[in-house]
Structure 1
Amino acid sequence: MKGIKKLLWVLYQCFAFYTLLIYTLILWVPSDGWVAGFMMMSFPLVVAIHLISVPIWFVVERKKAILPLIMFAIAGLFLSRTYAFGGSGDQDTVTGEKQKFSVMSYNVHVFQKFSEWWKGDGREEIRDMKAWIGNSGADVLCMPEYYDEDETVFDSGNYLSKKGYKHAAYFHRRKFGKSYWGLAILSKLPIVASRDTVFEAQNGMVQADVKVGKDTIRIIGLHLYSMTLGLSKLVEQKEMDGIEAESRVTLRKMKNGFQQRAEEFTVLQDWIKTSPYPVLVCGDFNEVPYSYIYGKLRKSLKNSFEEKGQGFGFSFNHLPYFIRIDHQFYDDNRLSVHDFTTYSKIKYSDHYPIMGTYSFK
């Protein structure tokens, strides 16, 4: 029995060392490699294991419970990325002379275009989804996986234009015949300039310079590389061979995702650095709060959820559910955030909408 305890303690010490490596990577984000990506993504699981280990070691050998307790306590350095206490914000429409404006990010999942159910009762839900977006009160909409098809239930552009969103910025290939598929920024406020870059299919970035009163803000809407992991297939496997095969596919997709998004991030950095206006970056990052890209952005911009959000702010509505991959980052030297909301009861898409309210300093 003593030999087993000794072995378990050695293994736990190795795990504690691995944990310190993860903490170091998250704090200093020195590497954009896929190995570091896997390690940083494991952060929530690692912290949970330390929390569970505290009472276990307390029972086995009380003094040794100190190490998991310390490991768990150090994780508090990342509490602001995990859970927000920002409150509901203030409701005034102006701050002194500065007008407030709201930006909503919502991956609309092509309004369920590729799901069979929309051809039946789902048509009404699509209309409800468009109505909710149109009545959301947001001044600017950033929508990854936006879909627009003339003269159908998917005629989003004309519908939202009637709701006041008369200004738009798209990928350069605006239409495929009567339809458009990809990232879009729609605005009630004037867009005075725009540009775009396409990474792959619907993934890419759109930049819109938006006039807010006498000021101008540069909004960069993005949709970084999607891994389309298909975790439901992995969960459904009953045989070990199937589990191993699906696990290999999942890990390969994750590795490719880390590499692709790191390359895309270099383009985003150039866009931010060359902006003459305060910048707000929003959209579907496909990156959790402990990742390389999130950490790098956090060094130069503030995260709106961390400043004014509430709770965990999970933004994904499918497996693995408990993750936050939709974000808004803003230039806190020239912008203030007043409110941030994750609409976790709006379940039309596989993502939840998020909205921040801002003003110029």
Structure 2
Amino acid sequence: MRGVKKFLWFLYKCFAFYTLLIYILILWIPSGGWLAGFMMMSFPVVVIIHLISVPIWFLIDRKKALLPLVLLIGSGIFLSRTYRFGSKDASIADESGNTFTVMNYNVHSFQRFSDGPAKQVENQIEDMKNWIATSGADVLCMPEYFDDGSARFNMGELLGKKGIKHSAHYSNSDKNYRLGLALYSRFPIIARKDTIFEAQNGMIQADIKIKKDTVRIIGLHLFSMTLKLSTLVHQKKMDGVAKEGKITFSRIKMGFIRHAAELEVLESWIEDSPYPVVVCGDFNEMPYGYVYGNLRKKLDNGFEKGGKGFGFTFNHLPYFIRIDHQFYSPDRLGLLDFTTYNKIGYSDHYPVMGRYQVTPNQAAH
């Protein structure tokens, strides 16, 4: 029994070393490589294991319980990325400044429930469009946007009736329909550009004139790992588990590699901007990843400054993750509030909205 305890303690010390490596990677981000990506992504699981380990080692050997306790407390360094108690970090509105709202919502082509009865699908699409149109957003960023010109998918027409008449799109499809990323704005778009990384993934840059000020909105949809976790979970044979596990691993690995390349383009767009910037969209990355960590060095994160709770944004397996983000220029924009609409279940993502104010006398014109 004593030998078993020694072996378990040795394994735990190895795991403790692995934990320290993860903390270092998340804090200093030395590499955008796929191995580092896997390690950083494992952070929530690592914290849960230490949480379970504290009472277990306390029962086995009270002195040894100190190590998991210290490592658990150490994870608090990343608390702001994980959970918000709702205390007021957000700015107080100044009547002399221009305010605007930005919502990003991966709309899943407006057809998350496309395999249901025809009438039910029709009603769901209509309800989703109406909710978006009446959400109060001044700027809308919609990854996986779909428009085939029919009355069924007339999102642009519906938004136009609500005064949101300006738009920028990219699409990887032919001229008969759009399937990609869309930006809509209540305010005039005075300049725009886009780039497509692959399939539906890419970025749109729109310089938006908000009264006397200009703000650069960068909407994005980074490489989708498209994990079929439900397929993996429901495998009943080991060869099926192995096959799906291999596919999942390969997809995640490719995601880390692609995200590192996509970040280079994104950072160049941010650095070249003469205007305050809001970066929003589907990052397909948790708050402990390479892209998130690098952006956090330059910009503030909307959820971290004004969100509440865990702010999970994925409405599908594995559910408990936040991959839809907003970052903004803290020296030239103030965040007034930030909301995650986790009761809006039309898509496999939840919408998030930030309300911002251009800092008086500091915005570029």
Same-fold status (TM-score > 0.5): yes
Report the more deviating stretch, 153-162 or 286-295: 153-162
With the length of structure 1 as denominator, give the TM-score of the two structures: 0.96
Matched letter for residue 30 of structure 1: P
**Conservation of the 8 A alpha-carbon contact between 2:90 and 2:335:** no
CA distance in structure 1 between the partners assigned to 2:89 and 2:298 by the alignment: 23
Map 1:92-171 onto structure 2 (within 5 A). 95-112=94-111, 115-117=114-116, 119-171=118-170
Contact 1:190 1:211 in 2 (8 A): yes
Cα separation, 2, equivalents of 1:13 and 1:116: 49
For 2:99, give the aligned amino acid: K
Q: Using a 3 Å threshold, how does the CA distance of structure 1 residues 15 and 32 change in structure 2: closer, same or farther?
A: same
Q: Which runs of 4+ in 1 moved over 4 A?
A: 87-92
- How many angstroms does 1:95 deviate by? 1.4
Preserved contact between residue 110 and residue 145 of structure 2 (Cα < 8 Å): yes
Q: Report the CA distance between 1:100 and its aligned residue.
A: 1.1
Contact 2:193 2:204 in 1 (8 A): yes
**Residue matched to 1:5:** 5
**Residues 1:338 and 2:348 are matched in the alignment:** no
Task: Give the 5 Å matches for 1:251-330.
Answer: 251-330=249-328
Q: Which residue of 2 aligns with 1:56?
A: 56
Per-residue deviation at 1:87?
4.6
Deviation at 1:152, TM superposition (A): 3.0
Is the Cα–Cα contact under 8 Å of residues 229 and 250 in structure 1 kept in the other structure?
A: yes
User: Where does the alignment leave 5 or more consecutive residues of structure 1 unmatched?
Assistant: none
Aligned to 2:363: none
- Provide closer, same or farther for how the CA distance between residues 335 and 250 of structure 1 changes in structure 2, counting only shifts above 3 A: same
Question: Aligned pairs, how many?
Answer: 359
Deviations 1:274-297 (A, max 9, x none): 001011100000010000110000
Identical-pair percentage: 60
SS of residue paired to 1:98: coil
Which whole-Å CA distance do the structure 1 matches of 2:227 and 2:55 have between them?
35
In structure 1, distance between residues paired with 2:340 and 2:309? 9
Structure 2 Cα separation of the partners of residues 279 and 156 of structure 1: 26
Listed as ranges, the matches of 1:117-266 within 5 Å are: 117=116, 119-171=118-170, 176-266=174-264
**Separation of aligned partners in 1, 2:15 and 2:251:** 26
Structure 2 residue identity aligned to 1:149? D
Which consecutive residues of structure 2, in runs of 5 or more, have no partner in the other structure?
360-365
Displacement of 1:149: 2.0
Matches of 1:178 and 1:109, distance apart in 2 = 19
Query: Given the alignment of the two structures, is residue 29 of structure 1 paired with residue 32 of structure 2, yes or no?
Result: no
Are residues 9 and 89 of structure 1, via their aligned partners in 2, closer, same or farther at CA, if it must alter by over 3 Å?
Answer: closer
User: Match for 2:74: what amino acid?
Assistant: I
| Structure 1 residues 340 and 139: alpha-carbon distance in aligned structure 2, compared to 1, 3 A threshold | same
Q: 1:236 to 1:113 in 2, by over 3 A?
A: closer
- Between the aligned partners of 1:63 and 1:265, the Cα distance in structure 2 is 44
User: Aligned equivalents of 1:74 and 1:214: distance in 2?
Assistant: 46
Q: Is the 8 A contact 1:118 1:126 kept in 2?
A: no
Aligned equivalents of 1:135 and 1:91: distance in 2? 25
